Structure 1
Amino acid sequence: MFYTFRLLFWDGQAKMNMSKMVSCLVAVALVSLQVSSASACTFITLTGADGTVVASRTMEWGAFDLSPEMTFVPSGTAFSAMTMPDGQDGAEWVAKYNIAGVTLLGQMLFGDGVNSEGLNVSLLYLPGFAEYQAYDPDKASISLAPVDVAGFLLSQHATVAEVRNGLNNIRVVPIVTPELGEAAPVHFSVTDKSGDQIVIEYLDGALSVYDKTLGVMTNSPPYDWHINNARNYVNMRADAWPSRDVNGIDIAPMGYGSGLIGLPGDFTPPSRFIRALAWTQTARPTEGGEDTVHESIRILSNFVLPMEAVDKKLNPAELEVLKYGGTQYTVSYDLRNLKVYFQTSDNPSVRSVDMSTFDFDALSGPIKLPMRNLAAPFSTDVTPAS
């Protein structure tokens, strides 16, 4: 039986005329040249036979070490946004839910995470296109920096529906992240344990929410462009193409994989998006739980990057440069069983934490576990005794 892509086609909501499309393609090319050395994150979702939804991502950032930490935040924890451009305090809030996720740069800035209700938020780079809402001093109390958004959503909402309804009650404004020297150009994937999912972007100073997603996300350009681009690959399938008779000669595929001939192999965001879509749509059926996590990590191993060229303009704070490649960590969130699995560039062994057994009530505040452990052995010696 042929297995073809189950694509949710572009619905025409964001149709481009030819001139706009040409402009977009030029912009993509320029952005790729400028930031290919920085960020190339890839996000995927898989669902097991038992209904387990697993949201997973790689975190690429080649300019410097993000110092990722697995962070546990109990409900009741007070948060505050970064200081606004005019020196006013930004939004302040108290966490309604327990959170486990990855914080970056020694701060309470979540790159991704899951809360005790099974909601996942993942932040990915969107350079060249992210443009935030204008700062209004009269609305400072509901304003957030882009890097505050993931933590806010995780701490305040239980479902994607709640996130969708709550986005109009906040403003995301261009607050500079000092380590970057600019407002972080990012977008967000939000997934809950039911499998409901949205993508959030801020474009041309306005909020854009995509209710129809393909279960994968990468970087620039905006999400609707990627959905439209997927139309170029509807011929992809898991099964090999059949042989053909040409003038009495049997022309058969050269070997395994002919169904994916034409799959782009480079590491640009558009190509990675199509590969992520191909691998998730042709993934083996999984039982759920760790079996689905295992398949997710296997798929994401196709996106691990070698050391990327370091652009000093992307490292104004002159932070430590990576040693083992641009993929700083891979993390997989089981939204049903509330388990988090991760591996890092310095140690590819998979480690996990279990929110369901962790005693959040015993915490007086957030605690952090460094994800990089240079003291841990790189390999396990299994040499038999003589």
Structure 2
Amino acid sequence: MCTRVLWPDANGAVLVGRNMDYHRDLGTNLWKLPRGVVRDDGVEGALSWTAKYGSVVAAAFDMISVDGMNEAGLAGHVLWLAESVYGEYDPERPALSQAVWLQYFLDNYATVAEAVEWMESTGAQVVQLTDPASGEVPAIHLALNDASGDSAIIEYIDGAVEIHHSPEFRVMTNSPKFDEQLELLARFEGFGGDAPVPGTTNAPDRFARAAYYVSRLPEPTSQLAAIASMFSVIRNAAQPFRNPDPGKPDASQTIWQIVADQTNLRYIFESTTRPNIVWVDFADLDFSEDSGQGVIDLGGKLALEGGLAGNVSGHFEEGRTLNFLTLSIVKQLAAAKKAASA
């Protein structure tokens, strides 16, 4: 499920791109989330906070932040990792549901270093949730990157968190876990080995291809050229329309992709099934506490032939709230399903 690529030296700007690969439509919309919103962990409510930073996020089913950037230039990206094992829930430790894992960092931190320090000092854990629509239980890892070009990959393996923190960690895909991906990368030309750059859609091959091409991008002459360059890399790592591999929802087609300029604060979204590219400029947005949440209904407006295109910063509509999936909702749905079948 997906490829993430960081380019920290794009003509004085830090850019990141990611593909979202999945076997079905995620009902993705763009949300503007202001400062001052009170949220909790989505588990038992033991951890709560008030958003310090406003953000723009791409949300799946309007229940989970899967990608986004805050007004300080911190961006995050949720990808699939089948090896993820989060361990048994421990009520004595801070915990975040998968639905708010990314949002917690966007709400609270400006830099990767701050986020990593919180993870390491608290021993925070992640709690899996069940997708109420499909019954799938996501297995995910998280990439964070900031406006300085710093980067961290956060994974839970055998119940313990593994954090890979360095500006050198520019690429993330899926299986195997990150340290093993680095070992596999060493086989290829330009990274210590002599094997040619691979061309399949397998995660290690996408990892190698993205790492190879992002390291060879020409110096851009403008922000537009930099954005186009990043799109060229993530499109090279995209997966064509295809039937998913059995039992592997991550081995599926690319359904959308983003490029975010973390220096100039522009967030660009492209659907692979819609005709137009749209973007949001943070300078055009009001993130103040009383500004309200706003949503751009991408499924409706982008689906129209000749629909939304270009700068859509003025198209966020109020009146709806991003309600994150919580453990209580999962339990309620499970109880209702059990009662219905009795």
Q: What are the residue-to-residue correspondences of 1:206-221 with 2, within 5 Å?
A: 206-212=160-166, 213-221=168-176
Query: Which of 365, 372, 386 is the aligned partner of 2:292?
Result: 365
Amino acid at match of 1:365: G
Q: CA deviation at 1:45?
A: 1.2
Q: What are the residue-to-residue correspondences of 1:245-264 with 2, within 5 Å?
A: 262-264=196-198
Q: What are the residue-to-residue correspondences of 1:192-341 with 2, within 5 Å?
A: 192-212=146-166, 213-235=168-190, 262-287=196-221, 289-310=223-244, 326-341=253-268
Contact kept, 8 Å, 1:91 with 1:143, in 2: the verdict is yes
Distance 2:100 2:198 in 1: 34
Query: Which of 145, 152, 167 is the aligned partner of 1:191?
Result: 145
Contact kept, 8 Å, 1:214 with 1:227, in 2: the verdict is no
Contact kept, 8 Å, 2:3 with 2:206, in 1: the verdict is yes
1:383 is aligned to none
Q: CA deviation at 1:362?
A: 7.7
Distance 2:66 2:188 in 1: 30
Contact kept, 8 Å, 1:133 with 1:174, in 2: the verdict is no
Contact kept, 8 Å, 2:29 with 2:295, in 1: the verdict is yes
Deviations 1:175-204, CA, capped at 9 Å, x for gaps? 334345354211111111000111111111
Q: 1:272 to 1:74 in 2, by over 3 A?
A: same
Q: CA deviation at 1:309?
A: 1.6
Q: CA deviation at 1:370?
A: 2.1
Distance 2:53 2:15 in 1: 19
Amino acid at match of 1:351: V
Q: CA deviation at 1:117?
A: 0.7
2:84 is aligned to 130
Q: CA deviation at 1:261?
A: 7.2
Deviations 1:150-180, CA, capped at 9 Å, x for gaps? 1111111110110110113232123334345
2:326 is aligned to none
Distance 1:42 1:75 in 2: 29
SS of the counterpart of 1:137?
Answer: coil
Q: CA deviation at 1:306?
A: 2.4
Contact kept, 8 Å, 2:275 with 2:306, in 1: the verdict is no
2:101 is aligned to 149
Deviations 1:269-317, CA, capped at 9 Å, x for gaps? 00100000111111122245332111001111213322232579789xx
Distance 2:202 2:106 in 1: 29
2:8 is aligned to 47
2:329 is aligned to none
Question: How many residues are paired up?
Answer: 302
Contact kept, 8 Å, 2:97 with 2:126, in 1: the verdict is yes
| Overall identity of the aligned pairs, in % | 26
Q: 1:261 to 1:132 in 2, by over 3 A?
A: closer
Distance 1:235 1:119 in 2: 30
Distance 2:46 2:128 in 1: 12
1:57 is aligned to 18
TM value normalised by structure 2: 0.81
Contact kept, 8 Å, 1:125 with 1:186, in 2: the verdict is yes
Q: CA deviation at 1:348?
A: 4.6
Q: CA deviation at 1:358?
A: 1.0
Q: 1:288 to 1:184 in 2, by over 3 A?
A: farther
1:355 is aligned to 282
Distance 1:207 1:364 in 2: 36
Amino acid at match of 1:96: K
Q: Is the aligned partner of 1:375 residue 2:331?
A: no
Q: Is the aligned partner of 1:176 residue 2:105?
A: no
Q: Which runs of 5+ in 2 are unaligned?
A: 310-342
Deviations 1:117-166, CA, capped at 9 Å, x for gaps? 11011111001x10113212344xx2112232111111111101101101
1:255 is aligned to none
Amino acid at match of 1:188: L
Q: Which runs of 5+ in 1 are unaligned?
A: 1-38, 238-259, 316-324, 381-386
1:91 is aligned to 47
Deviations 1:25-44, CA, capped at 9 Å, x for gaps? xxxxxxxxxxxxxx3x0111
Q: Is the aligned partner of 1:344 residue 2:271?
A: yes
The 4+ residue runs of structure 1 with deviation greater than 6 A are 311-315
